[in-house]
Amino acid sequence: MDIWEEIKRKGFNWWVLHETRDAQKKYGFDMTQKEGAYSNTHNNEADAFKHAYMSWFLSYWWSDKTSKNLGDMHEDETPNAPYGERNMDLWNNAMGREIAYDMKRQLGDDYDLLGEEWVNQTAKRKIWEKMQRGELITNTNDKRRYENLELELLNEKDRVYSDGEFKNFDEKVQALKMSKYMDYIVDNNWEAPTEKNLNKKVQSGELIYVENYVRSDGTKVHGYYRRRTYFAGKKLQK
């Protein structure tokens, strides 16, 4: 790397840190100095935010591939870093790329006409919301692993209930899940979500079926149907 590339890089890193501090003032996430740490954005919530925001910015304004390649390169420059730190950074980088993907999908072809400041502030809010939901890794002792990221992130919002599953719920649970159940039916031209119909959509790639698995915290999850998301079909490299 020549001197000018180094200057540009340091300038970008400074800007990302500036944006992280700006978000911290607004959302109040942890930015405390850790004992023995070389900055106040090391292995804490600010560190998680910084990586997610940097990755989001590169993916949103350039490309998903550029974001991943530069993020991986940054981690490769410190090959002796503790596993927990590398795992945390790679995980949060992926969260930033997911947010970029979702924003482009939601905003359509005019996403780049909305103004850079509005887009940047929207991204900050979405990263903070992910942190609030526990989807970012904010400490190096987290048991979730980057290579298992897709399974670890599966949650209720991605799930599609078959007609048989829904009918087996008691009345209270049906009332709680009715909106999600009906949304899927309406979105699919009032087609009943029978296992036969859902399996057809799995075969066509519209849905995914998740086999039984065990989360890192020991929770057993039974197989189910879910909507396709950013991570579906992507190979997460270790």
Q: Summarize pLDDT for 216-232 with one digit per residue, the tens.
A: 777 788 888 988 777 65
pLDDT band at 235 (very low <50, low <70, confident <90, very high): very low
- pLDDT for position 157: 72
Percent of the chain residues past pLDDT 90, beyond the cut: 40
Considering the entire predicted model, what is its pTM? 0.74
Instruction: Provide the percentage of residues in the chain whose pLDDT is more than 70.
Output: 89
Give residue-wise pLDDT tens across range 140-175.
999 888 887 877 777 677 789 999 999 999 998 889
Q: Is the pLDDT of residue 233 over 70?
A: no
Mean pLDDT score of the chain: 85
Q: Does residue 56 carry a pLDDT above 90? A: yes
The residue-averaged pLDDT of 9-33 equals 88
For every residue of the chain, which 3-state class applies, written as one string? CCHHHHHHHHHHHHHHHHHHHHHHHHHCCCCCCCCCCCCCCCCCHHHHHHHHHHHHHHHHHCCHHHHHHHHHHHHHCCCCCCHHHHHHHHHHHHHHHHHHHHHHHHHHHHHHHCCHHHHHHHHHHHHHHHHHCCCCCCCCCCCCCHHHHHHHHCCHHHEECCHHHHHHCCHHHHHHHHHHHHHHHHHCCCCCCCHHHHHHHHHHCCEEEECCEECCCCCEECCEEEECCCCCCCCCCC
The pLDDT-based confidence of 1 (bands split at 50, 70, 90) is very low
- pLDDT(237) > 60: no
